[in-house]
Amino acid sequence: MRKLLLYAGIVLLCLTTGCEYKDIDRRIFVVAIGIDPGEEKAFKVSLKLAVPQGEVTKIDEKMLIVTEESDSISEALRLMKSKVEKELDYVHCKSIVIGEELAVGDIRHILDWAVRRRDIQLILNFAIGRPAGLDVLKVKPPSERIPSNSLIMAMSGEGTESPFIASVYSYKLMRDMYEQGKDPILPIIEAEGETRFQIDKIALLDEHKIQLVLNPEETRLFNLLTRPNLKTNFPAKVDESEFQYYTESSTSNYKITTASTGAPVIRYKIKIKGIVEENSTQELITHPLLEKISEAGGEELKQSVEALLEKIKDKRLDPFGWGLRYGTRHWNNETEARDWEALYPDLKFEVTAAVRVKYSGLIK
Amino acid sequence: MPAQQKPDEVTVQGIKEKLDNFADLENRELTAASGTGRLLFIKSITDPQIINRSIIAVFYEMNDPAAFAEYLAHYPGSKAVEDGKQAMDLMLGGYACVEVEGRLIFFDALKAETSGVSETVTESITQGPSDALTENLAVNLNLIRRRYQSAELKMESMLLGNISRTKAAILYDDSRVNHQVLEELRQRLQTLRIDMLQASGELEKYISSDKIRIFPKTIVTERPDRVVFNLAEGKIAILLDTTGFAMILPVIFNDFFVAMDDKIQLPFVGRFLKLLRIMGVAMTLWLPALYVAFTSYNPEIIRVQIALLIAGSRATVPYPSFVEVLLMLIMMEFLTEASLRLPRAIGPTATTVGGLILGQAATAAGLVGNIMIILVSVVAISNFMIPLNMMSFSIRVLKYLFVMAAAAVGLVGVVVCLVGFTMYLCSQRSFGQPYFKMFVLDSLGASDSKKGGGS
């Protein structure tokens, strides 16, 4: 009898579960968070929830947006728990969109919360939403099958490889924000109606708020300077014809030279291998012409990059981490930060753009 | 044909000494009024009819040793030998040795046991020999001796079981075997006090010293080529009369994942197959547990797309994920067990009804998720990738432990279980030999890999 009870007990024990046990169908996944300034309270937090479907074959994306105002973000999330029937699960939250209105103020509060909270991953994408975070969350492109998938794909670079998008993970944002000698950046997502968004601008921040917004052209150059093998095209004008060349491969690096006399110089070296993609006059492309295109393209690139760098310098921003680079190459740990501050206003830029357009495309 | 002279170095006595410990060596004296002769042969590979009719009967009919010697020497299939090595080769190849009138004549009496040897059922391979061990010990010995023609292959025989009196034969290569293990085995068999012994697996239970046995410590195989392969590696084989399976010991964990066609395939193909098998084990062991862990504790590990897919497929399922998994797994076990017992003609019907219709209906009714059906099929298929049944069955049961651990504490449970099993395996010994000697490059591992089967 005792043995029987023991066995029965073991069997029953096996049917119990641990304390963190919650089935996946009793959770609702938050895929994106939008944070805007509230009308009455400090924050208006919106959550985009993915509603799973039973029939995989039916293309019918369902999503749900819940909004709550509160003075603290955590409080707003707790309040929202009673608005849905399932447990809110943030583990698959892939993006936080901060409203522009909030981003011109201070984003440190939000960032601190996102990094501190244990179930929000450090690899979520931060962005600024225009006109507001909620508007971006509401966007539902027709090509999307899983809620917020398009946002995730576009922002992380898993899907589109647009040269205008810079993806910023929360750990990176946190690092850049508190690192001496480097300033954070954030991509700007503009909602255009209910079905489309556009990400082609970058906001440059100082310690905690937006200082400068780069236009798409500048954003592309910024990406060219910050990451290798950017897939894009650049113009080149030879005589009367307008050419566009595709960048098959691109690299860029820089050196900071501080001579004892004279102004400190940052030398940028950009190397691009290109293919002609567009030819406005249908001129026959010969090898000498290719060389001319390369030269013209290099010159044009050089000028626009220099203009961008000067523009950034005028705002006293450092999104490339020049100050950090300066610090790593100098031994005077106590004074190097101050030295750099003193050097910064005198910075000169020298850009060499080595563009080599190799092919004429497929037409000979 | 010149008269056969007895070579100086080959004597009946010499052969007998070489074949020491051969329980199946027959040594007869032929005595007639006119003289005597001596007949020496290995019973298990010689045909008694040939010996009776062509040697013994003729000897007594002729009643003249000199004429008999002449008769034998001119008989097709008889041979004279030059040296001891050739004599030994002939003896092991099924020749009977006749000493008469001071002459030593070898007479072909090979018993080719072909009828009664059936094809392998549980360990089929695509290429290579397909004959299986039979229920007849003599036939089995014939199958093995034919493949292992070496004087070093010794055989000891004994009777096991007070009632069943099962004939058992211990085979080993004297030059390669670990004598410590052999001694231990002899001791364990001698102290055995049982009534009935009918199967090789049963014997393992009796001679094993552990109380709780989770993994098989001996290989039970029906393939004579596997027996021979392992004998050459210095292992010991125990053959039982009345069962078509041989037992091989000591073994390491890795041995259970060697199929006999690994060596037939090209080395890189063999390695790939081995890798597939290990992946199969991992799949069948962990997939159900991981499903429970991912759906109920750690959905952050899988991608959001898959998480939503699983959540969607589970939307109509009324009970927790581990009940769903257990239900489907048990259903699958029913199916496997049932198709084993079913008559061969009904087998396909059962799989169709069970596998296809049941699975389809269960998802359509919303009782289990779609993903679950895929998972269960993968588990069922990959389980049978293990070439040896004993291990395959062990793994089949063990996966439930992982599911329980996952249901209790999620992914942590699966990892803890895995670590626990690794430690358990490392602590195990098969007849005093380390059981989990998997990636150690010692002499055994090196000899294994040299044969191209992947170590």
Q: Do B300 and A92 touch (CB under 8 A)?
A: yes
Please determine, for residue B4, whether its predicted confidence score (pLDDT) is greater than 80.
no
**Dist CA B407 CA A14 (whole Å):** 9
Side chain identity at residue B320, one-letter code: P
B440: in domain:
no
Is the torsion defined by CA of B68, B69, B70, B74 positive or negative? positive
What is the chain A residue with the closest CA to B300?
A91
**Whether residues B224 and B280 fall in one domain:** no
Which of B300, B332, B313, B278 shows the shortest CA–CA distance to B410? B300
Q: Report whether B223 contacts B247 (CB < 8 A).
A: no
More confident residue, B117 or B286: B286
Q: How confident is the model at residue A53 (pLDDT cuts 50, 70, 90)?
A: low
Q: Do B304 and A24 touch (CB under 8 A)?
A: no
Number of domains making up chain A: 2
pLDDT score for B286 = 93
- Residues 200..229 of B with a Cβ closer than 8 Å to A: which? none
Q: Do A52 and B316 touch (CB under 8 A)?
A: no
**Whether residues B232 and B305 fall in one domain:** no
Is the preceding omega at residue A184 within 30 degrees of 0, hence cis? Answer: no
- Minimal C-alpha gap between B219 and chain A (Å): 32
- Cα–chain-centroid distance for residue A290? 35
Q: Report whether B297 contacts B163 (CB < 8 A).
A: no
pLDDT score for B423 = 92
- Residues 380..409 of B with a Cβ closer than 8 Å to A: which? 404, 407-409
Helices (H), B191-303: 200-207, 224-232, 267-296
- Cα–chain-centroid distance for residue A358? 31
Q: For residue range B346-360, list pLDDT tens digits in order.
A: 777 777 777 788 888
Q: Report whether B173 contacts B153 (CB < 8 A).
A: yes
Q: Report whether B91 contacts B42 (CB < 8 A).
A: yes
Q: Which of A25, A91, A94 sits opposite B314 (nearest CB)?
A: A25
Judge whether B365 is closer than 8 Å to chain A, CB to CB: no
**Whether residues A165 and A269 fall in one domain:** no
**Dist CA B353 CA B346 (whole Å):** 11
B288: in domain:
yes
B interface test, pick of A15, A17, A60 with most B CB neighbours within 10 Å: A17
Q: Report whether B208 contacts B428 (CB < 8 A).
A: no
Please give the average per-residue pLDDT across A139-150, as a whole number: 80
**Whether residues A66 and A204 fall in one domain:** yes
Please determine, for residue B453, whether its predicted confidence score (pLDDT) is greater than 60.
no
**Paired tokens of A98:** 């901060």
pLDDT score for A311 = 92
- CA B305-B306-B309 angle, to 5 degrees, is 90
Q: For residue range B81-93, list pLDDT tens digits in order.
A: 878 778 888 888 7
**Paired tokens of B454:** 């992947």
Q: Do B304 and A54 touch (CB under 8 A)?
A: no
- Residues 140..179 of A with a Cβ closer than 8 Å to B: which? 146, 149, 152
Judge whether A10 is closer than 8 Å to chain B, CB to CB: no
Q: Which of A18, A27, A56 sits opposite B312 (nearest CB)?
A: A56
**Whether residues A196 and A287 fall in one domain:** no
* Domain termination residue (choose one: B230, B252, B274): B252
**Whether residues A254 and A187 fall in one domain:** no
**Whether residues B279 and B413 fall in one domain:** yes
Please give the average per-residue pLDDT across A217-237, as a whole number: 91
Q: Report whether B237 contacts B254 (CB < 8 A).
A: no
**Whether residues B240 and B280 fall in one domain:** no
**Whether residues A210 and A222 fall in one domain:** no
- Minimal C-alpha gap between A223 and chain B (Å): 28
Please determine, for residue B130, whether its predicted confidence score (pLDDT) is greater than 70.
yes
B448: in domain:
no
What is the chain A residue with the closest CA to B369?
A54
pLDDT score for B201 = 78
Q: Report whether B143 contacts B133 (CB < 8 A).
A: yes
Q: Do B299 and A17 touch (CB under 8 A)?
A: no
A10: in domain:
no
- Minimal C-alpha gap between A304 and chain B (Å): 41
pLDDT score for B449 = 44
Quote the mean pLDDT of chain A: 87
More confident residue, A203 or A13: A203
Q: What is the SS3 assignment for B38?
A: strand
Q: Do B407 and A23 touch (CB under 8 A)?
A: no
**Whether residues A36 and A138 fall in one domain:** yes
pLDDT score for A57 = 61
- Minimal C-alpha gap between A93 and chain B (Å): 9
Q: What is the SS3 assignment for B301?
A: coil
Sort out which chain A residues have CB atoms less than 8 A from B297's CB and list them: 18, 20-22
Q: At what angle do helices B179-190 and B200-207 cross, to 10 degrees?
A: 90
Judge whether B192 is closer than 8 Å to chain A, CB to CB: no
- Provide the 8-state DSSP code for B3: P
Judge whether A288 is closer than 8 Å to chain B, CB to CB: no
pLDDT score for B6 = 46
Please give the average per-residue pLDDT across B178-189, as a whole number: 88
**Whether residues B234 and B304 fall in one domain:** no
CB pairs under 8 A between A and B: 86
What is the chain A residue with the closest CA to B319?
A23
**Whether residues B280 and B423 fall in one domain:** yes
Sort out which chain B residues have CB atoms less than 8 A from A53's CB and list them: 308, 312, 315
Q: How confident is the model at residue B455 (pLDDT cuts 50, 70, 90)?
A: very low
**Dist CA A289 CA A287 (whole Å):** 5
- Minimal C-alpha gap between B172 and chain A (Å): 45
Q: For residue range B191-206, list pLDDT tens digits in order.
A: 888 888 888 878 888 8
Judge whether A121 is closer than 8 Å to chain B, CB to CB: yes
Helices (H), B342-439: 347-351, 359-364, 370-383, 389-409, 411-427
**Whether residues B303 and B404 fall in one domain:** yes
**Whether residues A40 and A189 fall in one domain:** yes
Judge whether B314 is closer than 8 Å to chain A, CB to CB: yes
* Domain termination residue (choose one: A214, A235, A257): A214
The full length of chain B comes to 455
Q: Do B317 and A50 touch (CB under 8 A)?
A: no
Please give the average per-residue pLDDT across A265-281, as a whole number: 90
Please determine, for residue B418, whether its predicted confidence score (pLDDT) is greater than 90.
yes
Across the beta sheet with A348-359, what order do the strands follow?
A: A233-238, A241-257, A265-279, A348-359
**Dist CA B401 CA B363 (whole Å):** 26
Q: Which of B311, B316, B410 sits opposite A24 (nearest CB)?
A: B311
**Dist CA B138 CA A179 (whole Å):** 83
- Supply the range of the domain harboring residue B355: 265-434
Q: For residue range A290-301, list pLDDT tens digits in order.
A: 899 999 999 999
A5: in domain:
no
Distances (CA, A) of B311 to A18, A29, B362: 20, 10, 17
What is the chain A residue with the closest CA to B404?
A14
Quote the mean pLDDT of chain B: 83
Q: Do A91 and B299 touch (CB under 8 A)?
A: yes
Across the beta sheet with B219-221, what order do the strands follow?
A: B153-160, B166-173, B236-240, B246-249, B219-221
More confident residue, A226 or B455: A226
**Whether residues A253 and A194 fall in one domain:** no
**Dist CA B252 CA A107 (whole Å):** 61
Please give the average per-residue pLDDT across B303-314, as a whole number: 83
- Minimal C-alpha gap between B334 and chain A (Å): 20
In sequence order, which residues have a C-beta less than 8 Å from that of residue B239 and are 6 or more positions away? B133, B137, B140, B141, B144, B168, B169, B171, B246, B247
Q: Report whether B273 contacts B260 (CB < 8 A).
A: no
| Lowest-pLDDT choice from A84-88, A301-305, B9-13, B121-125 | B9-13
A interface test, pick of B291, B295, B300 with most A CB neighbours within 10 Å: B300
**Dist CA B139 CA B152 (whole Å):** 20
**Whether residues B85 and B183 fall in one domain:** no
A131: in domain:
yes
**Whether residues B425 and B285 fall in one domain:** yes
A198: in domain:
yes
B60: in domain:
yes
* Domain termination residue (choose one: A168, A189, A214): A214
Q: Do B322 and A121 touch (CB under 8 A)?
A: no
Q: How confident is the model at residue B9 (pLDDT cuts 50, 70, 90)?
A: low
B451: in domain:
no
**Whether residues B245 and B385 fall in one domain:** no
pLDDT score for A220 = 92
Q: Do B310 and A24 touch (CB under 8 A)?
A: yes
Q: Do B307 and A54 touch (CB under 8 A)?
A: no
**Paired tokens of B209:** 């010293």
Which of A345, A302, A320 shows the shortest CA–CA distance to A204? A320
**Paired tokens of B2:** 């010149």
**Whether residues A122 and A234 fall in one domain:** no
Helices (H), B172-253: 179-190, 200-207, 224-232
* Domain termination residue (choose one: B224, B252, B280): B252
Instruction: Characterize A77-88 residue by residue with b for buried, 16 or more Cβ atoms within 10 angstroms of its Cβ, and e for exposed.
Output: beebeeeeeeeb
Q: Which of A18, A29, A56 sits opposite B408 (nearest CB)?
A: A18
Judge whether B317 is closer than 8 Å to chain A, CB to CB: yes
Q: Which of B300, B305, B311 sits opposite A25 (nearest CB)?
A: B311
**Whether residues A117 and A164 fall in one domain:** yes
CATH number of the domain where residue A298 is located: 3.30.300.210
- Cα–chain-centroid distance for residue B78? 36
| Lowest-pLDDT choice from A99-108, B115-124, B153-162 | B115-124
**Whether residues A149 and A283 fall in one domain:** no
Is the preceding omega at residue A131 within 30 degrees of 0, hence cis? Answer: yes
Q: For residue range B362-401, list pLDDT tens digits in order.
A: 888 888 888 888 898 899 889 888 888 888 999 999 999 9
B415: in domain:
yes
A309: in domain:
yes
Please determine, for residue A60, whether its predicted confidence score (pLDDT) is greater than 50.
yes
- Residues 29..68 of A with a Cβ closer than 8 Å to B: which? 29, 31, 50, 52-56
Please give the average per-residue pLDDT across A25-48, as a whole number: 90
Q: Does the reported pTM lie above 0.90?
A: no
ipTM above threshold 0.90:
no
Q: Report whether B322 contacts B366 (CB < 8 A).
A: no
**Whether residues B66 and B21 fall in one domain:** yes
Sort out which chain B residues have CB atoms less than 8 A from A152's CB and list them: 304
| Lowest-pLDDT choice from A324-328, B222-226, B428-432 | B428-432
> What percentage of chain B carries pLDDT values higher than 90?
12
Number of domains making up chain B: 3
Judge whether A24 is closer than 8 Å to chain B, CB to CB: yes
B191: in domain:
yes
A interface test, pick of B290, B291, B294, B296 with most A CB neighbours within 10 Å: B296
Q: How confident is the model at residue A56 (pLDDT cuts 50, 70, 90)?
A: low
A174: in domain:
yes
What is the chain A residue with the closest CA to B403?
A14
Q: Report whether B198 contacts B242 (CB < 8 A).
A: yes
**Whether residues B311 and B376 fall in one domain:** yes
pLDDT score for B285 = 92
- Supply the range of the domain harboring residue A202: 23-214
In sequence order, which residues have a C-beta less than 8 Å from that of residue A29 and are 6 or more positions away? A49, A50, A89, A91, A92, A93, B299, B304, B307, B308, B311
Which of A174, A192, A82, A215 shows the shortest CA–CA distance to A131? A192
Instruction: Characterize A165-201 residue by residue with b for buried, 16 or more Cβ atoms within 10 angstroms of its Cβ, and e for exposed.
Output: bbbbbbebbbebbeeebbbbbbbbbbbeeeeebbbbb
B81: in domain:
yes
**Whether residues A179 and A273 fall in one domain:** no
Q: Do B317 and A24 touch (CB under 8 A)?
A: no
